[in-house]
Amino acid sequence: MGKDRKKKEEEKPKKNDFKAFLKKRAPIYLGLIGLFIIFAVPELTKGDLEGSLPELSAEDKQVVDILMGYNGPNGAGLTVMEALSNKIAEEYPDEKIYDNKKTSVDLIVSKINSEEYQVMFDFKSHKGEMNYDWNVNVNSNEIDANNDDSKYILDLVDFYD
């Protein structure tokens, strides 16, 4: 009987020690979790242009990848995706524009012929809209602009230092 009492007495302090351990440190753990939620989560869920693009079929995605990945005749430097992101950032410098409910990004891919596609990129927000229109040749990876804004983006990419 004496042995049974010793076993029970030894088991109880272990449970109490664990509870005391948690009670002492719970505010620290809650504080760390709170700091993580306040500072890290917004940075991890930060919106960007690439995350705002709509879902596309495999064929359309290939055409858009050719367009957005185009980085000029030299093959180095700024891409069309980066140029578009920079242009949007210039228009909305102090705003989290991708988090705004009135912001929408539309991407329409139309087949012109077996080699050529028309890609229309429309960015709409509470301040206005930007429309871009390109023709993309999937065999030669050649891109032609169909409006002035699209031409500006291509010139920016082509002549980037």
Q: Per residue of the chain (161 residues), what is the pLDDT tens digit?
A: 555 555 555 555 455 777 777 778 888 888 888 877 777 665 555 456 666 666 778 888 888 888 888 887 777 778 888 888 888 888 877 777 666 677 777 888 888 888 898 988 888 887 788 888 989 888 888 888 888 888 988 888 888 75
Centre a 10 Å sphere on the Cβ of residue 60 and count the other Cβ atoms it contains: 18
- Return the C-alpha torsion angle 63, 66, 68, 70, nearest 10: -150
- Classify residue 151 as exposed, middle or buried by CB count within 10 Å of its CB (0-12, 13-18, 19+): middle
Give the distance, in angstroms, between the CA of residue 66 and the centroid of all CA atoms in the same chain.
18
Give the distance, in angstroms, between the CA of residue 69 and the centroid of all CA atoms in the same chain.
15
Beta bridge partners of 118: 110, 135
* DSSP secondary structure letter of residue 53: S
Q: What are the start-end ranges of the H helices in 36-134?
A: 41-44, 49-52, 58-69, 80-91
* Gyration radius of the chain over CA positions: 28
**What is the pTM for the complete model shown?**
0.63
Q: Report the C-alpha gap between 130 and 138 in whole angstroms.
A: 25
